[in-house]
Amino acid sequence: MNTQPIGVLDSGVGGLTVIKAMLAELPDEDFIYFGDTAHLPYGNKTPAQLITYAGDIMKFFSTFPVKAVVVACGTHSSVTLQHIIKDYSIPLLGVVKAAARSAVAVTSNKRLGVLATQATVMSGTFTREIKTLQPGCTVMEVACPKFVPLVEAGKLDDSDTRQAVHEYVSPLIEQGIDTLVLGCTHYPFLGPVIKEFIGPQVKLVDPSYETVEELRQVLHSKNLTRGNNPHSQRHFYVSGSQESFFTVGKLLVGDVIQRVEQVCLD
Ligand code: DGL
Protein backbone atom coordinates (compact mmCIF):
# COMPACT_ATOMS: atom_id res chain seq x y z
CA MET A 1 0.00 0.00 0.00
CA ASN A 2 1.14 3.55 -0.76
CA THR A 3 -0.77 6.70 0.26
CA GLN A 4 1.06 9.17 -1.99
CA PRO A 5 -1.00 10.86 -4.71
CA ILE A 6 -0.80 10.26 -8.46
CA GLY A 7 0.25 13.16 -10.71
CA VAL A 8 -1.84 13.79 -13.83
CA LEU A 9 -0.79 16.38 -16.42
CA ASP A 10 -2.06 18.07 -19.54
CA SER A 11 -2.01 21.50 -21.20
CA GLY A 12 -5.53 22.26 -19.94
CA VAL A 13 -8.82 20.45 -19.40
CA GLY A 14 -7.99 17.53 -21.74
CA GLY A 15 -6.51 15.34 -19.03
CA LEU A 16 -9.81 15.54 -17.17
CA THR A 17 -11.10 12.93 -19.61
CA VAL A 18 -8.56 10.58 -17.97
CA ILE A 19 -9.52 11.89 -14.52
CA LYS A 20 -13.12 10.93 -15.25
CA ALA A 21 -12.01 7.36 -15.88
CA MET A 22 -9.82 7.40 -12.73
CA LEU A 23 -12.75 8.57 -10.60
CA ALA A 24 -14.80 5.65 -11.90
CA GLU A 25 -12.11 2.94 -11.85
CA LEU A 26 -9.68 3.98 -9.09
CA PRO A 27 -11.85 6.03 -6.71
CA ASP A 28 -9.58 5.49 -3.69
CA GLU A 29 -6.54 7.09 -5.28
CA ASP A 30 -5.60 10.67 -4.40
CA PHE A 31 -4.37 12.81 -7.27
CA ILE A 32 -2.74 16.10 -8.16
CA TYR A 33 -3.83 17.48 -11.54
CA PHE A 34 -1.72 20.00 -13.39
CA GLY A 35 -3.11 21.91 -16.40
CA ASP A 36 -0.33 23.87 -18.10
CA THR A 37 -2.74 26.56 -19.32
CA ALA A 38 0.03 29.19 -19.57
CA HIS A 39 1.48 27.20 -22.49
CA LEU A 40 -1.77 26.11 -24.12
CA PRO A 41 -2.09 24.87 -26.82
CA TYR A 42 0.74 22.33 -26.83
CA GLY A 43 -0.02 21.33 -30.41
CA ASN A 44 2.02 24.16 -31.95
CA LYS A 45 5.06 23.81 -29.67
CA THR A 46 8.44 22.33 -30.58
CA PRO A 47 9.78 19.11 -29.01
CA ALA A 48 12.39 21.19 -27.11
CA GLN A 49 9.69 23.45 -25.61
CA LEU A 50 7.54 20.48 -24.67
CA ILE A 51 10.47 18.70 -22.98
CA THR A 52 11.14 21.84 -20.89
CA TYR A 53 7.46 22.12 -19.84
CA ALA A 54 7.35 18.45 -18.88
CA GLY A 55 10.50 18.80 -16.78
CA ASP A 56 8.99 21.76 -14.90
CA ILE A 57 5.77 19.88 -14.21
CA MET A 58 7.68 16.81 -13.02
CA LYS A 59 9.66 19.06 -10.65
CA PHE A 60 6.35 20.42 -9.29
CA PHE A 61 5.02 16.87 -8.82
CA SER A 62 8.17 15.87 -6.97
CA THR A 63 7.36 18.39 -4.22
CA PHE A 64 4.36 16.33 -3.05
CA PRO A 65 5.84 13.76 -3.94
CA VAL A 66 3.71 11.67 -6.30
CA LYS A 67 4.06 7.88 -6.62
CA ALA A 68 3.28 7.73 -10.38
CA VAL A 69 2.46 10.13 -13.21
CA VAL A 70 -0.18 9.81 -15.89
CA VAL A 71 0.81 11.84 -18.92
CA ALA A 72 -2.84 12.52 -19.79
CA CYS A 73 -1.87 14.37 -22.94
CA GLY A 74 -1.45 12.90 -26.41
CA THR A 75 1.19 15.47 -27.31
CA HIS A 76 3.47 14.86 -24.33
CA SER A 77 2.86 11.11 -24.65
CA SER A 78 3.94 11.22 -28.32
CA VAL A 79 6.74 13.76 -28.25
CA THR A 80 8.17 14.02 -24.73
CA LEU A 81 7.65 10.81 -22.81
CA GLN A 82 10.28 8.78 -24.69
CA HIS A 83 12.91 11.42 -23.82
CA ILE A 84 12.14 11.87 -20.12
CA ILE A 85 10.97 8.44 -18.94
CA LYS A 86 14.50 7.25 -18.12
CA ASP A 87 15.08 10.24 -15.81
CA TYR A 88 12.51 9.13 -13.23
CA SER A 89 12.28 6.12 -10.95
CA ILE A 90 8.48 6.33 -10.56
CA PRO A 91 6.13 4.90 -13.24
CA LEU A 92 5.23 7.35 -16.05
CA LEU A 93 2.33 6.29 -18.27
CA GLY A 94 1.16 7.92 -21.48
CA VAL A 95 -1.99 7.49 -23.55
CA VAL A 96 -0.57 6.37 -26.91
CA LYS A 97 0.13 2.70 -26.16
CA ALA A 98 -3.31 2.37 -24.56
CA ALA A 99 -4.90 3.98 -27.63
CA ALA A 100 -3.00 1.65 -29.95
CA ARG A 101 -4.09 -1.45 -27.99
CA SER A 102 -7.74 -0.35 -28.05
CA ALA A 103 -7.59 0.56 -31.74
CA VAL A 104 -6.16 -2.73 -32.99
CA ALA A 105 -8.65 -4.61 -30.83
CA VAL A 106 -11.65 -3.02 -32.57
CA THR A 107 -10.61 -2.53 -36.21
CA SER A 108 -11.83 -5.11 -38.74
CA ASN A 109 -10.60 -3.63 -42.01
CA LYS A 110 -7.28 -2.40 -40.54
CA ARG A 111 -7.84 1.12 -41.83
CA LEU A 112 -7.57 3.55 -38.95
CA GLY A 113 -7.78 7.31 -38.55
CA VAL A 114 -6.11 9.28 -35.77
CA LEU A 115 -7.16 12.81 -34.82
CA ALA A 116 -4.41 14.59 -32.89
CA THR A 117 -2.46 17.81 -32.47
CA GLN A 118 0.05 19.07 -35.02
CA ALA A 119 3.02 18.15 -32.78
CA THR A 120 1.64 14.65 -32.25
CA VAL A 121 1.03 14.04 -35.95
CA MET A 122 4.53 15.28 -36.81
CA SER A 123 6.02 12.77 -34.35
CA GLY A 124 4.31 9.81 -36.06
CA THR A 125 4.11 8.03 -32.70
CA PHE A 126 0.51 6.81 -33.04
CA THR A 127 1.25 5.23 -36.41
CA ARG A 128 4.41 3.58 -35.05
CA GLU A 129 2.66 2.15 -31.97
CA ILE A 130 -0.34 0.87 -33.94
CA LYS A 131 1.88 -0.74 -36.59
CA THR A 132 4.05 -2.34 -33.90
CA LEU A 133 0.97 -4.18 -32.66
CA GLN A 134 -0.59 -4.82 -36.07
CA PRO A 135 1.91 -4.35 -38.94
CA GLY A 136 -0.69 -4.67 -41.72
CA CYS A 137 -2.65 -1.58 -40.64
CA THR A 138 -3.04 1.58 -42.67
CA VAL A 139 -2.98 4.55 -40.30
CA MET A 140 -3.98 8.07 -41.36
CA GLU A 141 -3.24 10.88 -38.92
CA VAL A 142 -4.96 14.25 -39.17
CA ALA A 143 -3.88 17.37 -37.25
CA CYS A 144 -6.86 19.24 -35.79
CA PRO A 145 -5.58 22.64 -34.59
CA LYS A 146 -9.10 24.07 -34.22
CA PHE A 147 -10.27 21.51 -31.68
CA VAL A 148 -8.34 22.47 -28.51
CA PRO A 149 -9.30 26.18 -28.61
CA LEU A 150 -12.95 25.16 -29.18
CA VAL A 151 -12.90 22.79 -26.19
CA GLU A 152 -11.13 25.28 -23.93
CA ALA A 153 -13.77 27.87 -24.88
CA GLY A 154 -16.51 25.41 -23.92
CA LYS A 155 -17.80 25.30 -27.52
CA LEU A 156 -18.53 21.60 -27.44
CA ASP A 157 -21.50 21.55 -29.77
CA ASP A 158 -21.96 24.69 -31.86
CA SER A 159 -21.72 25.45 -35.58
CA ASP A 160 -17.94 26.16 -35.48
CA THR A 161 -17.39 22.80 -33.79
CA ARG A 162 -19.51 20.91 -36.30
CA GLN A 163 -17.74 22.59 -39.18
CA ALA A 164 -14.32 21.67 -37.77
CA VAL A 165 -15.41 18.07 -37.25
CA HIS A 166 -16.61 17.95 -40.85
CA GLU A 167 -13.31 19.41 -42.11
CA TYR A 168 -11.04 17.00 -40.21
CA VAL A 169 -13.07 13.79 -40.28
CA SER A 170 -14.53 13.77 -43.84
CA PRO A 171 -11.23 12.88 -45.58
CA LEU A 172 -10.82 9.91 -43.22
CA ILE A 173 -14.33 8.66 -43.91
CA GLU A 174 -13.59 8.95 -47.65
CA GLN A 175 -10.51 6.77 -47.07
CA GLY A 176 -12.75 4.01 -45.68
CA ILE A 177 -11.59 3.91 -42.05
CA ASP A 178 -13.56 1.73 -39.65
CA THR A 179 -11.83 3.04 -36.49
CA LEU A 180 -11.16 6.60 -35.37
CA VAL A 181 -8.72 7.26 -32.52
CA LEU A 182 -9.07 10.39 -30.41
CA GLY A 183 -5.34 11.04 -30.13
CA CYS A 184 -5.60 14.18 -28.00
CA THR A 185 -7.19 14.01 -24.57
CA HIS A 186 -9.22 17.16 -25.25
CA TYR A 187 -11.14 15.45 -28.05
CA PRO A 188 -13.43 13.16 -26.03
CA PHE A 189 -15.18 16.42 -25.01
CA LEU A 190 -16.25 16.53 -28.68
CA GLY A 191 -17.10 12.82 -28.71
CA PRO A 192 -20.88 13.22 -29.11
CA VAL A 193 -20.53 15.53 -32.14
CA ILE A 194 -17.84 13.34 -33.72
CA LYS A 195 -19.90 10.20 -33.10
CA GLU A 196 -22.95 11.74 -34.72
CA PHE A 197 -20.84 12.65 -37.76
CA ILE A 198 -19.13 9.27 -38.25
CA GLY A 199 -22.24 7.17 -37.59
CA PRO A 200 -22.36 3.66 -36.14
CA GLN A 201 -20.07 2.05 -38.78
CA VAL A 202 -16.92 3.73 -37.49
CA LYS A 203 -15.75 2.90 -33.97
CA LEU A 204 -14.48 5.76 -31.85
CA VAL A 205 -11.48 5.04 -29.58
CA ASP A 206 -11.02 7.17 -26.47
CA PRO A 207 -7.84 5.92 -24.72
CA SER A 208 -8.84 7.15 -21.22
CA TYR A 209 -10.23 3.92 -19.80
CA GLU A 210 -7.50 1.70 -21.25
CA THR A 211 -4.89 4.12 -19.83
CA VAL A 212 -6.46 3.89 -16.37
CA GLU A 213 -6.60 0.09 -16.69
CA GLU A 214 -2.86 0.12 -17.40
CA LEU A 215 -2.36 2.40 -14.38
CA ARG A 216 -4.31 -0.02 -12.20
CA GLN A 217 -2.09 -2.90 -13.31
CA VAL A 218 1.11 -0.92 -12.73
CA LEU A 219 0.00 0.16 -9.24
CA HIS A 220 -0.86 -3.44 -8.35
CA SER A 221 2.32 -4.94 -9.74
CA LYS A 222 4.49 -2.42 -7.87
CA ASN A 223 2.48 -2.60 -4.67
CA LEU A 224 1.53 1.07 -4.93
CA THR A 225 -2.26 0.94 -4.53
CA ARG A 226 -3.84 3.30 -2.02
CA GLY A 227 -6.22 0.90 -0.27
CA ASN A 228 -9.55 1.95 1.18
CA ASN A 229 -9.80 5.77 1.19
CA PRO A 230 -13.24 7.26 1.84
CA HIS A 231 -11.95 10.86 1.79
CA SER A 232 -9.91 10.97 -1.42
CA GLN A 233 -7.94 14.16 -1.97
CA ARG A 234 -8.14 15.76 -5.40
CA HIS A 235 -6.21 18.93 -6.11
CA PHE A 236 -6.23 20.96 -9.30
CA TYR A 237 -3.47 23.35 -10.34
CA VAL A 238 -2.98 25.45 -13.46
CA SER A 239 -0.12 27.62 -14.69
CA GLY A 240 -2.35 30.23 -16.42
CA SER A 241 -6.04 31.04 -16.45
CA GLN A 242 -8.14 29.33 -13.80
CA GLU A 243 -11.49 30.54 -15.12
CA SER A 244 -11.92 28.45 -18.26
CA PHE A 245 -10.43 25.45 -16.50
CA PHE A 246 -12.99 25.77 -13.73
CA THR A 247 -15.98 26.35 -16.02
CA VAL A 248 -15.18 23.80 -18.74
CA GLY A 249 -13.75 21.26 -16.29
CA LYS A 250 -16.97 21.24 -14.32
CA LEU A 251 -18.89 20.29 -17.46
CA LEU A 252 -16.99 17.03 -17.48
CA VAL A 253 -16.26 16.07 -13.88
CA GLY A 254 -18.70 18.32 -11.98
CA ASP A 255 -18.14 19.10 -8.32
CA VAL A 256 -14.93 17.09 -8.10
CA ILE A 257 -13.36 20.43 -9.01
CA GLN A 258 -13.93 22.61 -5.95
CA ARG A 259 -10.95 24.87 -6.25
CA VAL A 260 -8.29 25.57 -8.87
CA GLU A 261 -4.98 27.04 -7.73
CA GLN A 262 -2.61 28.94 -9.97
CA VAL A 263 1.09 28.17 -9.69
CA CYS A 264 3.99 29.64 -11.62
CA LEU A 265 6.58 27.03 -12.62
CA ASP A 266 8.99 29.22 -14.62
N1 DGL B 1 -4.69 17.50 -24.52
C2 DGL B 1 -3.41 17.56 -25.14
C3 DGL B 1 -3.15 16.39 -26.04
O4 DGL B 1 -3.66 15.34 -25.70
C5 DGL B 1 -2.86 18.89 -25.51
C6 DGL B 1 -3.51 19.60 -26.64
C7 DGL B 1 -2.96 20.98 -26.87
O8 DGL B 1 -2.78 21.72 -25.89
O9 DGL B 1 -2.74 21.34 -28.03
O10 DGL B 1 -2.48 16.45 -27.03
Does the beta carbon of 129 lie inside 6 Å of ligand 1?
Answer: no
Does the beta carbon of 117 lie inside 6 Å of ligand 1?
Answer: yes
67-105 pLDDT per residue, tens = 999 999 999 999 999 999 999 999 999 999 999 999 999
- Does the predicted model carry a pTM greater than 0.95? yes
Using the mean position of ligand 1's atoms as its centre, give its distance from the Cα of residue 32 in Å: 18
CATH class of the domain at 96-206: alpha beta
Please give the pLDDT value at position 45: 98
Separation of alpha carbons 166 and 86, rounded Å: 40
Residue 264 is a catalytic residue: no
Using the mean position of ligand 1's atoms as its centre, give its distance from the Cα of residue 209 in Å: 17
∠ CA 56-60-61, nearest 5°, is 115
The identity of residue 258, as a single letter, is: Q
Using the mean position of ligand 1's atoms as its centre, give its distance from the Cα of residue 43 in Å: 6
> Which atom of ligand 1 is nearest the CA belonging to 184?
4
Domain extents in the chain: 6-94+209-262, 96-206
Does the beta carbon of 40 lie inside 6 Å of ligand 1?
Answer: yes
> Which atom of ligand 1 is nearest the CA belonging to 118?
9
Please give the pLDDT value at position 266: 75
**Strand residues in 50-190 grouped as ranges (E):** 68-71, 92-93, 111-116, 138-143, 179-182
* CATH number of the structural domain 6-94+209-262: 3.40.50.1860
Q: Please check whether residue 112 is in contact with residue 140, taking contact to mean a CB–CB distance below 8 angstroms.
A: yes
Best residue among 8, 16, 19, 117 to mutate for probing ligand 1, ranked by most atoms within 8 Å of CB? 117
Separation of alpha carbons 16 and 5, rounded Å: 16
Q: Please check whether residue 33 is in contact with residue 234, taking contact to mean a CB–CB distance below 8 angstroms.
A: yes
> Which atom of ligand 1 is nearest the CA belonging to 78?
10
Candidate list 73, 137, 144, 264, residue with the active-site label:
73
Using the mean position of ligand 1's atoms as its centre, give its distance from the Cα of residue 230 in Å: 32
Same CATH fold, 96-206 and 6-94+209-262? yes
Residue 144 is a catalytic residue: no
Name residues of the chain where pLDDT drops below 50.
none
Q: Please check whether residue 227 is in contact with residue 29, taking contact to mean a CB–CB distance below 8 angstroms.
A: no
